A and B are shown apart, each in its own frame.
Chain A
């Protein structure tokens, strides 16, 4: 079945540091890939998405490229801020279109 593996962390960074969170997936066909973010005490918000190979999703300075050859969708941001402290989830919508398969989540803390 479909599955997602992501770097679990926790990750602690200083402001303006470079952030990368690795995400790899297993799925048949051509799944859609997502990054969701969960700020403290809140629900999940869609951060970015990609629907086909080589697509690059981007939002709020974050980027991720759909790499079918390596089955990866790594999240990157060049210069993090304290406000980026959150839990980040990689997810896919694949063969079962009614379900999102999530990674375990990565807790990111950015210190001033």
Chain B
């Protein structure tokens, strides 16, 4: 099925560990982005990409790295996990005209850092 696929769905990390959250889309969307969802705060943008080889920071980029080597994939890396990074992470993609098509979201990764 066409859409945005995120893995893993759940992850528990110890403080200081690193990991990569995977995101892949098969809709040939140029724009991809990562959000984190925290209670009472809606979703906040971490990083985004407007195409292969191009990334930029969002509202809350500290502690996260991204790269975009292909149109399909946009992994999010936590270099040294901290309890403050406990959250639900969503990857999203869209066609160029956001107003016409909106964004397509993955099902999320629930991360707990202990």
Contacts and interface: CB of A to CB of B under 8 A. Distances in A.
Q: Do A and B bind each other?
A: yes
Interface of A: 4, 8, 32, 34, 36, 42-46, 49, 51, 89, 93, 97-100, 102-105
Nearest to A98: B48
A43 B42 contact: no
Q: How large is the interface on B (under 10, 10 to 19, 20 to 34, 35 or more residues)?
A: 20 to 34
Contact of A105 (B31, B42, B98, B99): B42
Given A32-B98, A32-B99, A51-B99, A43 B107 contact: yes
Interface of B: 4, 31, 33, 35, 40-45, 48, 50, 56, 58, 90, 92, 98-100, 102-108
A74 B90 CA distance: 25
Given A43-B108, A44-B105, A89 B99 contact: no
A42 B40 contact: no
Contacts of A4: 42
A93 to B, nearest CB: 4
Contacts of B35: 100, 102
B99 A93 contact: yes
A93 B105 contact: no
A43 B99 contact: no
A22 B44 CA distance: 20
Contacts of B105: 36, 43-45
B53 to A, nearest CB: 15
Contacts of B104: 46
B43 A100 contact: yes
A20 B105 CA distance: 24
A53 B46 CA distance: 30
Contact of B43 (A32, A45, A89, A98): A89
